[in-house]
A and B are shown apart, each in its own frame.
Chain A
Amino acid sequence: MKPAILMLLLCLPVPNGVAAETMYVQAQKAGVLAEAKSGAAAVTELARGASVSVLEKNGLWYKVQVENKQGFISRLFLSPNKPVGAAELAKANDVSLEKANRRRSSSFAATASTRGLQADERVRQGREMYQADFRALQKVEKYEIPADRLQLFRKQAGLE
């Protein structure tokens, strides 16, 4: 093996197998509970982005340590990823609708043509059962609820 490659491999981040797994809260807020059930009292409340050390995994409920406190939190509210907002992710990586569309058409055309047919042709010939409606999809993607409208909607009914 070339030294450069060896060096690269040595430099790559090593997963810390011995230490407890760190996970991050994805929900806007999530309670760490005294017992492994949703109805249990909260030991503490965490906000999106907070990190926890996972001590035990048991189905839907993970036993975690946060600072000096231990408790249970549903795995549904956790991820090994640090939370990154959709807008931030899109900005950082230039994931635009236009790009998605370009990628779609090139990628799909390529795969359809490997089967010797274009998508529309596949539908007509009964090779594909469903005709895509991308105009409708674009409408769905463009639909947006103003943030203040959502805020009001939640506030009116005391929703989190």
Chain B
Amino acid sequence: MNTLPRFFALLLAAALIGPACSTTPDPAEKDAMERERLAREVDDELLVGREIASRLLGRFQHYEKNRAAIEYVNLVGATLAAQNGRPELRYRFAILDSDDPNAFACPGGFIFVTKGLLKLVKNESELAGVLGHEIAHVNEKHMYSTIVPKREVSTSETFVRLLSRGKSEIGSNLAQIVDNGMKMLMESGYGKEKEHASDQAAALYTKSSGYDPMALLPVLERLKEASKSSKLSKTHPPFDERTASFQAFLKENDLKSTLSASRQQVMEARFLAVLKKEAL
């Protein structure tokens, strides 16, 4: 920003808030400013997330054939997001037409599972575990904070940008940011710490939604088998280590499967009704 317009913006800001803030700032005004800041952050996250999500959809095909399967994934996802999501985001769940079992999360709440993943999971809690893991990548900004460099802005600068509804953090770097995001998804992965952290979050999320918090464990075992013949291993840390770390976390936290037989039955029935292997 040039010095001169910035100076005038500051003057304007002072003139605007001068009379109002001789004591402490009005809480309502402070809330409005906070909301404005959050809105811009979400705006930026969505800008980046949409670019990356659209490229995933271009790389794989959007699976639209089985409407019941799409609805089911969305219902389980929305159930988790309602309890565990960042309230400022709208999470979207979609299926990619690939037989390789995998799942992806993009900034802003775009979450994808492949057809192959839906064939790999054996019950609703397992699907919830996978979606919870991806929701955690979004909530914790595992990709976004890596690909979008955080610029330190002074309070006064933040304030000026609030008034002018100014430039986003993305600026002229969008193309590079998107390339780096796709690279993370398709090649380099998030790294061990973030994968372990998302597994742990998935356990807490599934538990708080009423699913079996241990359900991700058998999924990891099956993914390990599947990774021997797919590209999954490239973007994911060694499954043995992941499983061990997850087991330790479950134990530390006294997390156990506590689904009643009747609840399990309901979930079993609707899972089988929708996700029979031959239906996909």
Contact = CB atoms under 8 A, between A and B. Distances in A.
A11 B18 contact: yes
Nearest to B72: A153
The prevalent SS among residues of B at the interface is helix
Interface stretch (A50-58, A62-70, A100-108): A100-108
Interface string A124-143: 00001111111011011101
Interface string B48-92: 001101111111011010000011001100110011111111101
Contact of A13 (B30, B124, B207): B30
Interface string B125-154: 000000000001001000000000000000
B4 interface: no
For the side of the interface on B, what is the size category?
A: 35 or more
Contacts of B10: 4-5, 8
B17 A132 contact: no
A57 to B, nearest CB: 15
Contacts of A27: 83-84, 208
Contact of B205 (A76, A79, A149): A76
A84 B38 contact: yes
Which residue, A8, A28, A81, A143, has most C-beta atoms of chain B within 10 A?
Answer: A8
B252 A37 contact: yes
Interface of B: 10-11, 13-15, 17-18, 21-22, 24-25, 30-31, 34-36, 38-39, 42-43, 46-47, 50-51, 53-59, 61-62, 64, 70-71, 74-75, 78-79, 82-90, 92, 94, 110, 124, 136, 139, 155-156, 159, 170, 172-176, 179, 182, 186, 200-201, 203-205, 207-211, 213, 252-256, 260, 263, 266-267, 270
Q: Name the 3 nearest CB pairs between A and B, nearest first.
A: A39-B254, A11-B21, A38-B253
16 contacts: A9-B156, A11-B18, A37-B252, A83-B88, A85-B87, A85-B88, A86-B42, A103-B47, A111-B176, A129-B179, A129-B186, A136-B61, A143-B74, A143-B92, A157-B266, A160-B209
A28 B136 CA distance: 16
A140 B46 CA distance: 14
A159 B209 contact: yes
Nearest to B268: A157
A43 B57 CA distance: 45
A150 interface: yes
